[in-house]
Amino acid sequence: MTRTVFHSLIFLFLTLLTQLGGLAWLFAICFRRRVLVFASAYFALSIGALMVAPMFGREPIPCMSKGTFKMQSTLYCALNRQYVTPELKTVLQDFSTKMEQKFPQTTTLVLDANFPFISGFPLLPHLSHNDGRKVDLAFFYQDDSGFLSGTTKSPIGYFAFEDGPTDCANSKLTLRWDLAWLQGFWPDYQLEPLRMATALQLLSDDERVGKVFIEPHLKSRFQADNSKVRFQGCRAARHDDHIHLQL
Residue 182 is part of a domain; what is its CATH number? 3.30.1380.10
Same structural domain for residues 63 and 27? no
* pLDDT of the residue at 234: 85
Statement: residue 191 has pLDDT above 90: yes
* pLDDT of the residue at 228: 96
Distance CA(70)–CA(8), nearest Å, equals: 34
Same structural domain for residues 46 and 136? no
Question: How many structural domains does the chain have?
Answer: 2
Same structural domain for residues 50 and 140? no
Domain that holds residue 15: 1-56
Q: Given 56, 76, 99, which residue is the final one in a domain?
A: 56
Same structural domain for residues 95 and 212? yes
Interval 190-202 mean pLDDT: 97
* pLDDT of the residue at 171: 66
Same structural domain for residues 197 and 76? yes
Q: Could you report the per-residue pLDDT of 139-161, keeping only the tens digit for each?
A: 999 999 999 999 999 999 999 99
Same structural domain for residues 125 and 19? no
Statement: residue 173 has pLDDT above 70: no
Statement: residue 74 has pLDDT above 70: yes
Same structural domain for residues 237 and 117? yes
Query: How far from each other are the two terminal CA atoms of the chain, in whole angstroms?
Result: 46
For the stretch 9-16, contacts whose Cβ atoms lie closer than 8 Å and that sit 24 or more positions apart, written own/partner, are 16/122, 16/124
Same structural domain for residues 103 and 48? no
Distance CA(201)–CA(198), nearest Å, equals: 5
Same structural domain for residues 14 and 3? yes
* pLDDT of the residue at 172: 66
Q: What is the mean pLDDT of the chain?
A: 94
Statement: residue 12 has pLDDT above 80: yes
* pLDDT of the residue at 67: 86
Q: Given 24, 56, 88, which residue is the final one in a domain?
A: 56
Same structural domain for residues 64 and 173? yes
Statement: residue 42 has pLDDT above 80: yes
Same structural domain for residues 154 and 205? yes
Interval 76-86 mean pLDDT: 98
Segment among 70-79, 81-90, 229-238 with least mean pLDDT: 229-238
